[in-house]
């Protein structure tokens, strides 16, 4: 139970970073802020669906696979946002760190599925 909550907190680091970037961003591109809000929402929904099954994750249920993919969207959006040529470098560093932290539970779930085939207890 405690490990599931840790996974959930790790998933919400990119969500918090996206919300922060929405507020502090001074970009004139109209698609950045709504895209970030959408990515944060998709990440939150995916994280709530999959966080309890990460310790015993396997690629046998398509719903869990989609939820794991959805939980990665915030990290992917942060990495894409950080690669834009214009912008504040401090915000870029925070975005990259938050994206990496958000990918840690995904990497753990994939490693669990590949090494143990969903048999870990």
For the stretch 81-120, pLDDT in tens is 888 877 667 788 899 999 999 999 899 888 888 887 756 4
Query: What confidence score (pLDDT) does residue 58 get?
Result: 84
Query: Cβ atoms within 10 A of the Cβ of 51, count?
Result: 23
Percent of the chain with pLDDT over 90: 46
**In contact, 82 and 58? CB cutoff 8 Å:** no
pTM to 2 decimal places: 0.86
Query: What confidence score (pLDDT) does residue 88 get?
Result: 66
Query: What confidence score (pLDDT) does residue 55 get?
Result: 78
| Tokens (6 digits) for 17 | 């970073």
Q: Is residue 88 left, alpha or beta, with left meaning phi > 0 and alpha meaning psi from -120 to 50?
A: beta
Percent of the chain with pLDDT over 70: 93
Domains of the chain: 2-116 (1.20.1270)
């Amino acid at each position: 139970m405690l490990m599931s909550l840790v996974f959930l907190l790790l998933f919400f680091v990119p969500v918090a970073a996206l919300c922060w970037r929405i507020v502090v961003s001074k970009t004139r591109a109209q698609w950045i802020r709504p895209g970030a809000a959408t990515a944060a929402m998709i990440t939150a929904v995916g994280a709530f669906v999959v966080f309890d099954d990460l310790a015993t994750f396997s690629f046998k249920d398509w719903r869990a696979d989609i939820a794991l993919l959805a939980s990665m969207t915030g990290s992917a959006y942060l990495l894409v946002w950080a690669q834009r040529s214009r912008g504040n470098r401090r915000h870029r560093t925070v975005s990259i760190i938050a994206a990496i932290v958000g990918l840690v539970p995904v990497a753990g779930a994939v490693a669990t599925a590949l090494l143990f085939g969903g048999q870990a207890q």
